[in-house]
Amino acid sequence: MERLEQILSEIAGRENVRENEPMKNHTTFRAGGAARLFVTPEDEDALVRLEKTCQSAGVSYTVVGNGSNLLVSDSGYDGVIIQLGSRFAHCRRDGDVLEAEAGILLSKLARFACDQGLSGLEFASGIPGSLGGAAVMNAGAYGGEMAHVLVDALVLTESGERMVIPAEQMELGYRSSLIMKRGYTVLKARVRLVPGDKRQIQDRMDELNRRRKEKQPLEYPSAGSTFKRPAGYFAGKLIQDCGLAGFQIGGAAVSEKHCGFVINKDQASARDIYLLCREIQKRVYDRFQVPMEMEVRLLGDFS
Ligand SMILES: Cc1cc2nc3c(=O)[nH]c(=O)nc-3n(C[C@H](O)[C@H](O)[C@H](O)COP(=O)(O)OP(=O)(O)OC[C@H]3O[C@@H](n4cnc5c(N)ncnc54)[C@H](O)[C@@H]3O)c2cc1C
């Protein structure tokens, strides 16, 4: 690892490579152990070289965005976490299309669209993820989803090839995509919007964010909806009907405000959160025979 750290530092700059970096500082759950190496590349070429280096060294690596859908195990991640953050946040307008780098926050992209008088991203303004994470997850809210606006994405394949995937070929499903299945890295994406009235766009974003504050436990760390919505049901309602509102394991709790959210109520470990999720799945299945799939992505060893 020492030798690898040296090579990664040469590629990304010493100041951009950290050893044993606590992932609780980079995930909205504010829990979990350390990444053996944590790298924040400054540009696309560095990112490409970082991935190639990890591959040839046979070291696991994972590209993350804002960590708003991630639970990292307490024992950490024995590999390299590559975070695309504010340095990958350039964005430009070309007619009704916005092209942006994967690290841009959806809130910023939605803000930019509004300032440009472009409508279509209002649904995304309160989702605390990056554009890359949103494309991978096909993030959505309040009737909108990335599939409705994405034109294409520039990705990096495992063999280090840059490839543009049109949205129609992305297999965008409910919180899933081809990019997720193949493990590609999103470098950039384009969204097509429609001209709209700035005031109306702003009002819609304000309204949706008001609804979020009212309904969601935003005062606690979480990763949003912990489970996917099972077909024909609402995850939060199933959990509530099992009498699990407020149910706690260690510092992790089922939010009383919105049972679909597992929250880090009091310095929860990743294990607390994980065990609580498993218990919820068990109780919901025992009572309603409905399997609940995690929406949150797990990184590291939870066995
Ligand atoms: C309070 C709160 C509210 C939320 N509300 C919503 C909501 O309304 N709707 C919704 O859909 N989600 C919601 N989420 C979940 C989350 O914000 C989204 O899933 C978001 O799209 C994740 O983006 P991210 O950049 O944080 O991804 P991360 O959490 O960093 O990563 C998520 C997954 O994507 C992968 N990934 C990230 N970036 C890239 C990239 N550039 N290339 C390849 N893979 C990548 C990671 O490896 C990981 O598997 C919410 C979360 C919170 C905390």
Banded pLDDT at 2 (limits 50, 70, 90): confident
pLDDT digits (tens, 9 = 90+) for 73-132: 999 999 999 999 788 999 999 999 999 999 999 999 999 999 999 999 999 999 999 999
Q: Is 83 in the pocket of ligand 1 (CB under 6 A)?
A: no
Banded pLDDT at 53 (limits 50, 70, 90): very high
The answer to whether 175 is a known catalytic residue is yes
Is the predicted pLDDT of residue 183 greater than 90, yes or no? yes
Q: What is the pLDDT of residue 94?
A: 98
- Cβ-contact 141, 127 below 8 angstroms: yes
- Helices 198-215 and 106-115 cross at an angle (nearest 10°) of 150
Pairwise CA distance, residues 76 & 202, whole Å: 40
* 250 half-sphere exposure, CB direction, 13 A CA radius: 17
Is the predicted pLDDT of residue 246 greater than 90, yes or no? yes
Pairwise CA distance, residues 128 & 140, whole Å: 11
Is the predicted pLDDT of residue 18 greater than 90, yes or no? yes
Q: Is 223 in the pocket of ligand 1 (CB under 6 A)?
A: yes
- Cβ-contact 220, 263 below 8 angstroms: yes
Cβ burial of 276 (10 Å; 0-12, 13-18, 19+) is buried
pLDDT digits (tens, 9 = 90+) for 289-298: 999 999 999 9
Q: Which atom of ligand 1 is nearest to the CA of 179?
A: 43
> In angstroms, what is the span from residue 287 Cα to ligand 1's centroid?
30
Q: Is 26 in the pocket of ligand 1 (CB under 6 A)?
A: no
Q: Is 69 in the pocket of ligand 1 (CB under 6 A)?
A: yes
**pLDDT (mean) for 170-185:** 96
Q: Is 299 in the pocket of ligand 1 (CB under 6 A)?
A: no
Query: What residue owns the CA closest to ligand 1's atom 50?
Result: 224
> In angstroms, what is the span from residue 160 Cα to ligand 1's centroid?
23
Q: Is 62 in the pocket of ligand 1 (CB under 6 A)?
A: yes
Query: What residue owns the CA closest to ligand 1's atom 21?
Result: 134
Sequence-distant (6+) residues with CB within 8 A of 41 are: 11, 12, 16, 47, 50, 82, 84, 87
The answer to whether 176 is a known catalytic residue is no
Amino acid, single-letter form, for residue 194:
V
* 134 half-sphere exposure, CB direction, 13 A CA radius: 35
What is residue 224's three-state secondary structure? strand
What is the rounded radius of gyration, in angstroms, for the C-alpha atoms of the chain?
19
Pairwise CA distance, residues 224 & 121, whole Å: 19
What is residue 69's three-state secondary structure? coil
The answer to whether 295 is a known catalytic residue is yes
> In angstroms, what is the span from residue 66 Cα to ligand 1's centroid?
7
Q: Which DSSP helix (H) or strand (E) runs through 166?
A: strand 162-166
What is residue 138's three-state secondary structure? coil
Q: What is the pLDDT of residue 85?
A: 78
- Cβ-contact 115, 55 below 8 angstroms: no
For the chain, give the mean pLDDT: 97
